[in-house]
Amino acid sequence: MIKVFIDGREGTSGLQIEERLSARPDVQLLSIPPEKRKDTLYRRDYLNKADIAFLCLPDEAAKESVILVENSDTIIIDASTAHRTNPNWTYGLPEISPEQRKKISQSKRIANPGCHATGFILCVYPLIAKGLIEPNSLLTCTSLTGYSGGGKSLIARYETEQLKLLAPRPYALGLNHKHLPEIKAITGLDIHFYPVVGAMRQGMLVSIPLFTAQLNGNPCPLLVYELLTDWYQKCPFIKCMPFGGDGCLEEGFLDPSACNGSNRLELFVFGNETQILLIARLDNLGKGASGAAIQNMNIAFGLPEDLYLQ
């Protein structure tokens, strides 16, 4: 049995992780008494007797929890942004490369990626690695996400004032979104990022427009599609959808919620002779958060990567 403690289980990510793990026969969830969840001594005890601890906390609280861990065998997966660019932590996106997956399997400190960052990185990383995108390229990205990514307060507002909030709502307009540092750390790119909250609870579309002239060799969209398909062919949760979205569109529209409830990430390539559009579709609470955390747990314990995940 894997003993699991979720520090911050009352938050959106914590509840999702607990729900996903509660049915697993190989997991024992360590539940701290509700009245003791902010008691440092209790939290220290639970953190140190766990085989793995998920930190679903604000950044500063996550850093404090790490300090409490004295058991060298306890694996920590941090869902906050606190350690994503820390060189002493492993970035938990195994699809980057076989080497990254191996690092996760050997690490005791794993930083779970951000949802927007996951979509962007998985779209462009193979193109950077293959030399199609230069490290000094200036890219833009628009990401439409469900309101659940904003936590309990935003969820409550949308679900009580739904009629007032139907229109898409851009945010992080200071152009300093918290996922930008990890995108820079993994891809080397400084990007112009435009996130938007939609009226749906879950789901997201991360979109990157490109001109073929921006890419080395001026590749056609089909070549880019084939490169991505080859890169991710052994990744159980990443699927390159039919080129041009053939058979995947609903009356010409792309549904942002089609991966909800799963750990899947679907990649789309659209384009013509001069332009390419890359889109990653995922559940912001799945591959963008709790699903990815459990995927990293499976890898860290040497289990099948897709065990009890879909």
Catalytic choice (115, 123, 141, 240): 115
Query: 160: Cβ–Cβ under 8 A, 6 or more apart, which residues?
Result: none
Domain for residue 221, yes or no? yes
pLDDT of 279 above 70: yes
Domain for residue 232, yes or no? yes
Within this chain, do residues 294 and 272 fall inside the same structural domain, yes or no?
no
Say which range, 189-193, 197-201, 222-226, 291-295, has the weakest mean pLDDT: 197-201
Residue 88 pairs with which residues in a beta bridge?
none
Within this chain, do residues 96 and 123 fall inside the same structural domain, yes or no?
no
Within this chain, do residues 122 and 268 fall inside the same structural domain, yes or no?
yes
Domain for residue 309, yes or no? no
| Mean pLDDT, range 57-68, rounded to an integer | 97
| CATH number of the domain that residue 63 is part of | 3.40.50.720
Within this chain, do residues 94 and 164 fall inside the same structural domain, yes or no?
no
Report which residue type is found at 222: L
pLDDT of 126 above 90: yes
pLDDT of 163 above 80: no
Domain for residue 100, yes or no? yes
Give the pLDDT of residue 158.
85
pLDDT of 2 above 70: yes
Domain for residue 307, yes or no? no
Domain for residue 305, yes or no? no
Within this chain, do residues 98 and 122 fall inside the same structural domain, yes or no?
no
Give the pLDDT of residue 262.
97
**Model confidence at 34, in pLDDT bands (50, 70, 90)?**
confident
Give the pLDDT of residue 179.
98
Query: What is the chain's mean pLDDT, rounded?
Result: 95
Within this chain, do residues 272 and 293 fall inside the same structural domain, yes or no?
no
Give the pLDDT of residue 299.
98
What is the residue range of 121's domain? 115-284
Domain for residue 154, yes or no? yes
**Model confidence at 69, in pLDDT bands (50, 70, 90)?**
very high
Within this chain, do residues 211 and 131 fall inside the same structural domain, yes or no?
yes
Give the pLDDT of residue 237.
98
Residue 141 catalytic? no
pLDDT of 162 above 70: no
Within this chain, do residues 142 and 280 fall inside the same structural domain, yes or no?
yes
Within this chain, do residues 141 and 278 fall inside the same structural domain, yes or no?
yes
Within this chain, do residues 75 and 56 fall inside the same structural domain, yes or no?
yes
Within this chain, do residues 95 and 133 fall inside the same structural domain, yes or no?
no
Number of domains in the chain: 2
pLDDT of 240 above 70: yes
| Mean pLDDT, range 57-71, rounded to an integer | 97
Is residue 91 within 8 A of residue 44, CB to CB? The reply is no
Give the pLDDT of residue 255.
96
Query: 196: Cβ–Cβ under 8 A, 6 or more apart, which residues?
Result: 142, 143, 144, 145, 168, 169, 170, 171
| Mean pLDDT, range 23-42, rounded to an integer | 91
Residue 207 pairs with which residues in a beta bridge?
142, 279
| CATH number of the domain that residue 220 is part of | 3.30.360.10
Say which range, 88-92, 145-149, 274-278, has the weakest mean pLDDT: 145-149
Within this chain, do residues 40 and 59 fall inside the same structural domain, yes or no?
yes
